[in-house]
Amino acid sequence: MPDFFEAIRDFLLDYLPKQRCFSPNTALSYKQTLKLFVRYLQDTEGLRLKEIKFSTINKNHLTGFLDWLVLTRNCSGNTRNQRLMALRSFLEYAGQCDVAQMGLYTAALAIPKKEYYTKVVEYLTEPALKTLLEQPDASKEKEFRNLVFMILMYDTGARCHEMLAMKICDLKINNASPIAFLNGKGKKQRCVPLMPTTVNYLKKYLEHFHPGEKSNSNKNVFYTVSHYQQHEMSSDNVGKFIDHYGRMAATVCPEIPSKVKPHMLRHTRAMHLYKHGMPLPLLADFLGHSSTETTRIYAYADTEMKREALNKANIVRQNNPIPIETWDTDEELILKLSGLS
């Protein structure tokens, strides 16, 4: 077997799952990138499988592959950058195993990311969120469950799959400082505080939906019932009831987006925390982001924050005219200020 494919095998079967502890979904993404790269080398570069070796691959193959993704497969700039990151990771691993391959990794590092338009984060304003949470009829069992789900999702900034995977033992609501444990991507667990209002709703919910259940129970917090049997709630179920309440809320609040999706509650919590002063590194930790680069999208999302900053700057100047530049005609001062004198 060519050295290239031996490295792929060890990278996918040993390095990613055992050494890096990547989730199956992340490992699958890397696998798809390498499959596409091999396909490109076969179909576009005309190489047979046995000819695909590290010694036959160069920087032109790497850049050609990335161009092929965009021009032939119509991939977005974001997808192209993700494929580049996966290739870099694989080539770095290959270089660590055999220093002769470090040149190819260096070549991959020299390829810049593609600039692309980032869609503005959609989130709910505080009045819009309040209106959304007013839509469920808490006197009805199923709607009360939906209400608690949305309140907890917002309060914790959880992803939908983290909410669905949450067990009763993950909630510590009788502590002096109530918390919830969330199991995120790559089996990473994080701990988030719970607000008093959320705790009150959770206590009522658990009393009704899990009567007599012990606090260390491994039962799912949220579930559906069919034929008198409890079943795991699906993300489709969550999407349907949140969209339903969103359409109801839109009839009374113009600030509600055209379609409200579950992940919007996570974005909403993040934006509200950022607007109220939470620094990006702390927000990244709260959301379970491995890098603050991912969290940085919230720094560019809110026009109102920019408007307020501009207004504050205007208040500081107090509408006074911009001062005249005293050095404008003083050539000696200009040279002195620039360090040339």
Q: How many domains does the chain have?
A: 2
The answer as to whether 54 is a domain residue is yes
Q: How far apart are CA 16 and CA 204, in angstroms?
A: 43
By CB atoms closer than 10 A (0-12, 13-18, 19+), residue 194 is buried
Sorting pLDDT into bands at 50, 70 and 90, what band is 93? Answer: very high
Question: 339: helix, coil or strand?
Answer: coil
Give residues with Cβ within 8 angstroms of 62, minimum separation 6.
87, 104, 107, 108, 111
**pLDDT tens digit sequence for 262-312:** 999 999 999 999 988 899 899 999 998 877 777 877 776 666 666 666 676
Q: Do residues 140 and 76 both lie within one domain?
A: no
Q: Do residues 99 and 171 both lie within one domain?
A: no
The answer as to whether 255 is a domain residue is yes
Q: How far apart are CA 98 and CA 60, in angstroms?
A: 21
**pLDDT tens digit sequence for 119-143:** 668 899 999 999 999 999 999 999 9
| Structure tokens belonging to residue 180 | 């919830």
**pLDDT tens digit sequence for 96-113:** 999 888 999 999 999 998
The answer as to whether 312 is a domain residue is no
Domain span at residue 142 reads: 126-299
Q: What pLDDT was estimated at residue 188?
A: 81
Percent of the chain at pLDDT > 90 equals 66
The residues facing 223 across adjacent strands are 232
Q: Do residues 272 and 210 both lie within one domain?
A: yes
The answer as to whether 251 is a domain residue is yes
**pLDDT tens digit sequence for 34-47:** 999 999 999 999 99
Check if the beta carbon of residue 118 is closer than 8 Å to that of residue 77: no
Give residues with Cβ within 8 angstroms of 257, minimum separation 6.
122, 124, 128, 246, 264
Q: What pLDDT was estimated at residue 113?
A: 87
The DSSP secondary-structure symbol of 151 reads: H
Q: Do residues 258 and 191 both lie within one domain?
A: yes
Q: What is the mean pLDDT of the chain?
A: 88
Task: Look up the CATH number of the domain holding residue 156.
Answer: 1.10.443.10
